[in-house]
Homo-oligomer: A and B are copies of this chain.
Amino acid sequence: MPVTHYKVTLMYDGTHFAGYQVQPHQRTVQGVVEQALAKMAKVEQRIPINGSGRTDAGVHAYGQVISFDFPFFIAAEGMRKALNSLLPLDTQVLACEVVPSDFHARFDATGKRYRYRVNLDYYTNPFRRLYTGHWKWPMQPELIEAAIGDFVGTHDFTSFAAAGGSIENKVRTIYDAKVTVDQTQNELIFDFYGNGFLYNMVRIMVGVLLEIGGNRRPLHDIQRLYQVKDRRQARLTAAASGLYLMQVYYGDGPADLK
């Protein structure tokens, strides 16, 4: 059977990766997956994969999606098991499908869901420093609850995107944004669903919300930040360790709920 096209859903602990995208002399998610595929196919060159988007060093994923051509046919369940046996333990294939050859993990994505976890302990928790951001000052979650709705809708996110990107259109739509207080873990959990996210956008949004909850910024400062289109006024970028790419949607998720 000829070249086969796969869609694969990956979970990874981002701690020991220099990010998703291949870089020389660095351990990356794309790198370990492409190596595992080459080993399976018994070829010298890497087998290139397309990811739904990059994640930075230290950023985690519960549902990153990749797509790729493989030189011969393996049933989806066999591909899942073979990949898992070849991948390192901090990377796990959760699902695998054979898909039409025109499916593309990035271009076909219609929405994404991100989560951001913030530990509120007064000290650096040894078990969570790699899996949460950290806010050790006074916090009023009800202020964040009152403000976070300002992110919902279609807005120009220039103030919330790292400068220097090549993307000119900074307008994105957020379908849902919410914060949950996890009393047991002493954590704030932020969830954002949208049609697309600019570079560092979730981490900058969280930085602004934390300053609102910490009473360092007016309640509806987000509205002002849309107007000023100035990334410096958004100030903080929350740590990579708290960010999780939860799910990528392909015409089957919140992105359809417009």
Contacts and interface: CB of A to CB of B under 8 A. Distances in A.
Contacts of A131: 127
A13 B92 contact: no
Give the number of times this chain occurs in the complex, counting copies: 2
A92 B125 contact: yes
Nearest to A127: B13
Contact of A89 (B90, B92, B126): B126
For the side of the interface on A, what is the size category? 10 to 19
Contact of A126 (B91, B123, B124, B126): B91
Contacts of A99: none
A11 interface: yes
Interface of A: 11-13, 60, 84, 89-92, 94, 123-127, 129, 131
20 contacts: A11-B125, A11-B126, A11-B127, A12-B126, A13-B126, A13-B127, A60-B127, A84-B123, A89-B124, A89-B126, A89-B129, A90-B126, A90-B129, A91-B126, A92-B123, A92-B124, A92-B125, A92-B126, A94-B123, A127-B131
